[in-house]
Amino acid sequence: MNGIKIEDVAYVRFRAPDLAAMRAFLEDFGLTVTHADERRLVARGAGAAPVAHVTERGDPAFAGLAFRAASVEDVERLASAEGVTVEPLDLPGGGVVMTLSDPDGHRVEVVAGQAPAETVAIRAPQPWNRAAVRERLRTVKRIAPGAAHVVRLGHVVLNVSDFRASERWYKDRFGFITSDEIQVTPQFALGAFLRCDRGETPTDHHTLFLAQSPKGPGFNHAAFEVADLDDLMCGHEQLKTAGRHAEWGVGRHLLGSQVFDYWRDPWGHTVEHWTDGDLFTAADGSNVATLQDLLGVQWGPAAPPTMG
C-alpha cells in the first residue's frame, strides 16, 4: 500500500435534528461556531485549524472524521492509490479532500491545503505557587468563569469489529505508530493508541485509538484540547451549570497522562476536554499495556460502564 504520513486529525462530522440545540451545546463546550445555516453548523477552536466540528441536519449520528495531510500532493498520491477522486473542500479554509471508508464503513476524509484561521486569544495562563517553586508573588489569582477555551481537536476513538484489520488499514494509509497496544493475552490485543509519525517532531501520544468493543463498531468519543487545567475546570463548571450530561471526570489518565473531562452532547455522543498530554517522537517506539492500564486513572473517578 502506497500510503502517506498524516500530520494530525482535522475534524469530526455529526448529524443532528436540531442545529440550534447543537450550537448551544458547542458554545457551552467552548467551540466557536463560524458558519450556521439551515443545513449545517461548522465550529472551530482557538488555534489555526479552520474547522474542528461539523454538524449537518439529519437523524442523530456520527458521520465521519478527517485527517490532515502534509500537502495537497500527498492527498493526490493517496487518492490515486485508492482509486478515488480529489475534490474541493466545501468548508471554511477551503483546500482539497478525498474520502474513504474504513473496514467498518466509517467515513474517513483526508484534507490538505486549508488556509489557516486567525488564532483567537484564550485565557492567559496564570502562574502556580507550588511547594518547591513560588511563581506568583504579591498578586492574587482570579480565574474568570465561563466556557473552556477549546484550542483544537486532539484525537478520535473508534470502536471497531476487528482490531487487527482496522489497525492495518489505518497504518497502511496514514503511517500511524503504536504508542500503547492493549493486550488481553499475549495472543489477543483489543486495541491500540496510535500516534502520527512526524519524525523528530513531538506529537500527541495518540491521534486515533481503535478499540474492538463488544458493542460493535461505531463512534466512541472525540477529544478537544483546552488551554490548561484552570481552563478545563472552568469548562466543567460551565457545563455543569448549563445542565449538560457529565460522563466521566475530572481525572488523569494513565495512558497518555491527560487530565480529562468527558461529557455527552444532546444526542449522546461523547466529547472530551483534555490538557497536559504526553508527546512523543517516532524514535520513542511502542509499548504494551493491559486493559487495567487502559481504564485506570492516576487520580479521579473510575471509568463508568458507558465508556466501553
**What residues does each domain of the chain span?**
8-115+149-298
Give the mean pLDDT of the chain.
96
Q: Are the C-beta atoms of 212 and 190 separated by less than 8 Å?
A: yes
User: In this structure, are residues 202 and 279 in contact, taking their beta carbons and an 8 Å threshold?
Assistant: yes
90 contact partners, CB below 8 Å, separation of at least 6? none
Instruction: List phi, psi (to 5°) of 199.
Output: 65, -125
Average pLDDT over residues 195-218: 96
Is the predicted pLDDT of residue 1 greater than 80, yes or no? no
CA distance 194 to 209: 6
Which residue has 481552563 as its cell numbers? 231
> Could you identify the residue written with the cell 457551552?
28
**8-115+149-298 CATH:** 3.10.180.10
- pLDDT, residue 307, reads 78
What's the pLDDT band for 112 if we cut at 50, 70, 90?
very high
Given a cut of 90, whether residue 125 has pLDDT beyond it is: no
**pLDDT digits over 134-170, tens only?**
999 999 999 999 999 999 999 999 999 999 999 999 9
